[in-house]
Amino acid sequence: MAQTHSLQDLRQQASIAAKVFVQRDYTTGTICQFQTKFPSELETRIDKQQFEETIRTLNNLYAEAEKLGGRSYLEGCLACVTAYTIFLCMETHYEKVLKKIAKYIQEQNDKIYAPRGLLLTDPIERGLRVVEITIFEDQSNGRIEGR
């Protein structure tokens, strides 16, 4: 049958063994943070340190997006003064950070997770509720699993 060689094809043709959901961590309030607890289903696939590093970086990025500081206040006031029409021309700080996060996740997937048969889904696609990690089945008959 087919030999798949790219991540796209992998997603379409590989079978999903399981999905793991990393839930939100609300202990610091309502800001977007995810639990760093290592799920047991990933024990055989990936290093605990690696996983925690990924989640911690994501948490830091989300914290940066929601940070209250001079910059966000300035942006808020400017927006109010221009009756929020300024957002027709420029992106909010939050959106800029979300793009950064998307790039980071893509990079993590390419470098670390795809070679291990895992796939991180950007939390924004799940309404910032969970980090969904898809575990693909091991292809037993020698087919290439990923890049």
Partner 1 sequence: MLGLGVTEPMRECQYSEISVVASSPMDAEHTKRVPRRRKWETFPGRNKFYCNGRIMMAKQTGVFYLTMVLIVVTSGLFFAFDCPFLATNLTPAIPAIGGVLFVFVMGMLFRASFSDPGVLPRATPDEAAHLERQIGEDVANGPGQGGYRPPPRTREVIINGQTVKLKYCFTCKIFRPPRASHCSLCDNCVERFDHHCPWVGNCVGRRNYRFFYLFILSLSLLTVFIFAFVVTHVILRSSQTGFLSALKDSPASVLEVVVCFFSVWSIVGLSGFHTYLIGSNQTTNEDIKGSWSSKRGKENYNPYSYGSIVANCCAALCGPLPPSLIDRRGFVRPDAARPSPRSNGTSAYVSSQPRTRMCDQDQCIQSTKFVLQAAATPLLHNELITVSGGHSLSGKPSLGGPCASLPAAQHTPPGPVPNATWEAEALVRRDQEKSLFRWRASDEVSSPPSLGHGNPLYDPASQDSLHQDSVRGLVKLSSV
Give the residues lining the site for partner 1 (CB under 8 A). Answer: 1-3, 8-9, 11-19, 21, 23-24, 26-30, 41, 65-68, 72-73, 75-77, 79-80, 83-84, 92-95, 98, 119, 124, 126-130, 132, 134, 137
Q: What are phi and psi of 43, to 5 degrees?
A: -55, -40
Query: Distance between CA 124 and CA 140 in Å, rounded?
Result: 33
Nearest approach, Cβ of 46 to partner 1 (angstroms)?
16
Nearest approach, Cβ of 106 to partner 1 (angstroms)?
15
Closest to partner 1 by CB, 24 or 116? 24
Name the token pair of 89. 């021309």
Q: What is the dihedral of CA 75, 25, 127, 46, to 10 degrees?
A: 110
Query: Distance between CA 4 and CA 58 in Å, rounded?
Result: 30
Closest to partner 1 by CB, 53 or 132? 132
Nearest approach, Cβ of 101 to partner 1 (angstroms)?
12
Nearest approach, Cβ of 36 to partner 1 (angstroms)?
15
Helices (H), the chain: 7-13, 48-65, 70-81, 93-108
